[in-house]
Structure 1
């Protein structure tokens, strides 16, 4: 009798297709991501490559746009010192894309994170110890966020991601080119900080808690945006961010593509913010 009861209870906790229902009060990240539809795609499948390419290009546009623009404003020249940093940003972006498109459970992403670490051992980066340390911390975070026992797929992980993604690579690029930092440059990074916080909320927390948090994160992003600049492009960014906000509530399960769209909208917003 007891055995029949437990079998019935097991069946009652599954959907008609056999998918296990997430436990609402669980702190296990797997219980809050299990209903996300991340369709496995093979290497020869175009559905594997499109999100990967879009995410990698988008992240690099986000990271490189402001430092290069600010360097040109200071009449600085681009040098080969940026070559290892470019290799670093490409490889870490590939690792992030693999992680995001495989529901934060990608073994292959560790390989590209290892490649990005190798780029940091270039003498041009190691000569600047603070920059080297920042870049290593960023890689360590993306490795750690996939470890469920660390519990980083929540608001704490989201805050850490936003801070690290904003204040590591852009600062490394700018400092490598100019050998100093300006207060103006750091202040200009604030819209990027809150953009990461908003657009990555549904990626890190694809659950009701994340949707509630989006109400706060979109407000902070808009406030940072209005304090930075107000113009015709501001309206366009508002529309893009509203689209991203509404996308969280769409019932259609588009899985990998949904995260790709968030990162693509992040890149468009950053390109419009920094002109």
Structure 2
């Protein structure tokens, strides 16, 4: 009797639901089973990942443009960046809500709408290229939540990496300096492949995503080794290995797993851009 009971329990998730049969590689069908301990609205487990992910994303986006601006012209922060800062905060909150709610967050649309409002600021709207880039970035997050677009795969990962890398950092640099440099764009390559690697398990939490992460990890390593090799490179490799191992963890960490990926990426970018 005990052996039969143990066998039945072995086929259950920690919250009592039956373990799904992995007959599909569609991440949308699997995400329902990824988070074993959903947090309530007032639960601190919901707000800690939100805070950490939002801060981490803004560190990733703002650090390099401001460092390059300071090295280039010594310019300081100006009030013209306020609408752009509002945009990055709201879009980061929307991203966090999507990631922690299986890319089906109704509340995220509110913050996506707020991010659009910030783009209609005269300081952004008059710069048509920046205005278009930011609107495309917001539109992507609306589209990725629609299952019929089928963007929760390698194509969505590619589009996200390109938009996340070039939309906001280029906007920050251009609004601050009113011009772009080819050197600045080339310096964004580690960020591009960083987004590609660290967000692979977020967009594709399935066996295909784990296989793809081997490729994205390799590309990320090649980029950082060709960028600037030093003692910090060792820590970047350690952080990326931690993220690679994290995707195989099936414990009750829920939203903390996504927080771990983004936090490790922010730490990597802090070491790359210094």
With normalisation by structure 2, the TM-score equals 0.92
Moved more, 163-172 or 97-106: 97-106
Separation in 2, partners of 1:200, 1:254: 17
SS in 1 for 2:132: helix
Structure 2 equivalent of residue 208 of structure 1 = 207
Does residue 149 (structure 1) correspond to residue 166 (structure 2)? The answer is no
Structure 2 equivalent of residue 50 of structure 1 = 48
Does residue 24 (structure 1) correspond to residue 28 (structure 2)? The answer is no
Does residue 181 (structure 1) correspond to residue 180 (structure 2)? The answer is yes
1:75-114, aligned counterparts within 5 Å?
75-114=74-113
Which deviations, in whole Å up to 9, do the C-alpha atoms of 1:214-273 show, x marking residues without a partner?
Answer: 110000000000111000000000000001101111231311000000000010000000
Which deviations, in whole Å up to 9, do the C-alpha atoms of 1:107-141 show, x marking residues without a partner?
Answer: 00110010000000000001100100000000010
Structure 1 equivalent of residue 68 of structure 2 = 70
Mark the CA change 1:77 to 1:252 in structure 2 (over 3 Å): closer, same or farther.
same
Which deviations, in whole Å up to 9, do the C-alpha atoms of 1:58-107 show, x marking residues without a partner?
Answer: 00000000000001011223211100000000011001011111111110
Structure 1 equivalent of residue 116 of structure 2 = 117
Q: May I ask how many residue pairs the two structures share in their alignment?
A: 261
8 A Cα contact 2:31 2:205, kept in partner = yes
Alpha-carbon distance, 1:26 to partner: 5.6
Separation in 2, partners of 1:23, 1:48: 28
Separation in 1, partners of 2:23, 2:203: 17
8 A Cα contact 2:58 2:89, kept in partner = yes
Which deviations, in whole Å up to 9, do the C-alpha atoms of 1:14-47 show, x marking residues without a partner?
Answer: x5434472552464x4323232115332332111
8 A Cα contact 1:22 1:35, kept in partner = no
- CA RMSD in angstroms comes to 1.5
Does residue 164 (structure 1) correspond to residue 188 (structure 2)? The answer is no
Separation in 2, partners of 1:58, 1:76: 24
Structure 1 equivalent of residue 38 of structure 2 = 40
Which deviations, in whole Å up to 9, do the C-alpha atoms of 1:141-180 show, x marking residues without a partner?
Answer: 0111111111000000000110000000000000000010
Gaps of 5+ in 1: 1-14
Gaps of 5+ in 2: 1-10
Mark the CA change 1:127 to 1:204 in structure 2 (over 3 Å): closer, same or farther.
same
8 A Cα contact 1:71 1:174, kept in partner = yes
Structure 2 equivalent of residue 217 of structure 1 = 216
Task: Kindly report structure 1 stretches of 4+ aligned residues shifted beyond 6 Å.
Answer: none
8 A Cα contact 1:38 1:103, kept in partner = no
SS in 2 for 1:77: coil
8 A Cα contact 1:40 1:102, kept in partner = no
With normalisation by structure 1, the TM-score equals 0.91
The structure whose RCO (Cα within 8 Å, separation 6+) is larger is: 2
